[in-house]
Amino acid sequence: MLLACIFALGAVAAGCGGDDDDDGDNGAATEAEGEAAGEGSIWVLLPDSATSPRWESDDRRFFEQFFSEAGVDYTIVNAEGDAAQQQSQAEQAIADGASVILLTSNDTGSGAAIIDQAKDAGVEVVEYDRFNTGGSGGAAYVSFDNVQVGATMAEELEPAIDELEAETPRVVMLNGGEEDNNSFLFRQGYAETVEARVDAGDWELVADQHVPGWDNQEAQTIMEQILTSANNEVDAVFAANDGLANSAINALEAAGIEGAPVSGQDAAVAGIQNILLGKQTMTVYKPIEAEAEVAAAVALALRAGEELDAVEADAEFSLIGIQAADGQPTDSPDGDGVVPYFALVPVGVTADNIADTVIADNFRTIEEICTGDVAESEFCQEQR
């Protein structure tokens, strides 16, 4: 009996040895498929779906793709413009055992509070697209070079303004909400050109106003008030995104002003359509898939306890820094009060390169752009 037991145990041991080998192979296969190292879930906190359609139509699907491919647990929620709701979502993420929160805040004050609370709980925070000033700063910030976004608007709009028949073109700067640090960086980018041309006596600045909360309806009201005060003498508008641009266009058309150069940003469907209809001069394309890819890579690195300077992605970016106190970029990611800043490169889009940019990248499709009156545009006719 003893010999039988020894034989039986030997057989079991041999069987377990075979299972270990199999498990090892399966583990290697799983790792090869890209299962991420580290523990804890990743939570993505999006701000709303009103100020820009990108948060739900683009960012959400890309994060779902990247985190699913990495094999990590993740949760994506949207605060729908409610800062208190986003605070509650952050608390839920912490209670859920999240190791990383990827945050696009509703405003810089509530965002800074979420970051400090998460850090106190040992949760890493990646500030995504919007930076939160006045707090201690997250572990990293991922966005585009936002000063360059504004500069790209100026690069495209300046020659269009100079082609106007007006002797001294009268321009408006319609900026984003003051609660968003990006608004100041975008403005910094195009204001450099505007102020230089105004100081030279080439242009006249009619108004320089921020739109609270990036609210499109409020933007139209503000633009209507600007036009009334200026006796409708406005020749061009530096609008900080496509939503504000559309509001400005509505106000301009109501005032009987057509053909005014107008900038935009986000390469939204409405923005591209306005370009093809000749109502908007340009938009800034910020490849959201690239931004989300870099942010996901940063979040996964933090989850795994890896150094940020080792983060790799197919997207082009520079690792610089941004000051937590005032949101101003720095050349280095190191230093007291400096947050590592993964800055991606924006792309200017006009009627001449829509096919080579947003269409080629499958960011926008012919089917969604070429509808209604836009379907009769030269661009859409050529795509048939």
Does 184 lie in the same domain as 85? no
Does 213 lie in the same domain as 156? yes
Q: How many CA atoms lie within 13 A of 78 on its CB side?
A: 15
Q: What is the pLDDT of residues 350-380, one digit of tens each?
A: 999 999 999 999 899 999 999 999 999 999 9
Does 314 lie in the same domain as 168? no
Does 79 lie in the same domain as 200? no
pLDDT at 6 > cutoff 50? no
**3-state DSSP assignment of residue 207:** strand
Q: Do residues 47 and 104 touch, judged by C-beta distance below 8 A? A: yes
CA 209/CA 109 separation, integer angstroms: 21
* Number of domains within the chain: 2
Does 172 lie in the same domain as 75? no
Does 237 lie in the same domain as 331? no
The answer as to whether 222 is a domain residue is: yes
pLDDT at 102 > cutoff 80? yes
CA 185/CA 105 separation, integer angstroms: 17
The answer as to whether 71 is a domain residue is: yes
Q: What angle do CA 92, 54, 240 make, to 5 degrees?
A: 115
Does 354 lie in the same domain as 210? yes
**DSSP secondary structure string, 324-339?**
TTT--EES-S-STTEE
Q: Do residues 137 and 337 touch, judged by C-beta distance below 8 A? A: yes
Does 358 lie in the same domain as 235? yes
| Whole-prediction pTM | 0.77
pLDDT at 12 > cutoff 70? no
More confident residue, 156 or 24: 156
pLDDT at 24 > cutoff 70? no
Surface-to-core class of residue 14, CB atoms within 10 Å of its CB (0-12 exposed, 13-18 middle, 19+ buried) = exposed
Does 325 lie in the same domain as 177? no
Does 233 lie in the same domain as 187? yes
The answer as to whether 235 is a domain residue is: yes
Q: What is the pLDDT of residues 136-157, one digit of tens each?
A: 999 999 999 999 999 999 999 9
The answer as to whether 18 is a domain residue is: no
Domain at 116, CATH number: 3.40.50.2300
| Token pair for 11 | 């057989």
Q: What is the pLDDT of residues 340-356, one digit of tens each?
A: 999 999 999 999 999 99
Q: Do residues 47 and 84 touch, judged by C-beta distance below 8 A? A: no
Does 254 lie in the same domain as 174? yes
The answer as to whether 93 is a domain residue is: yes
Domain that holds residue 325: 41-145+288-344
The answer as to whether 8 is a domain residue is: no
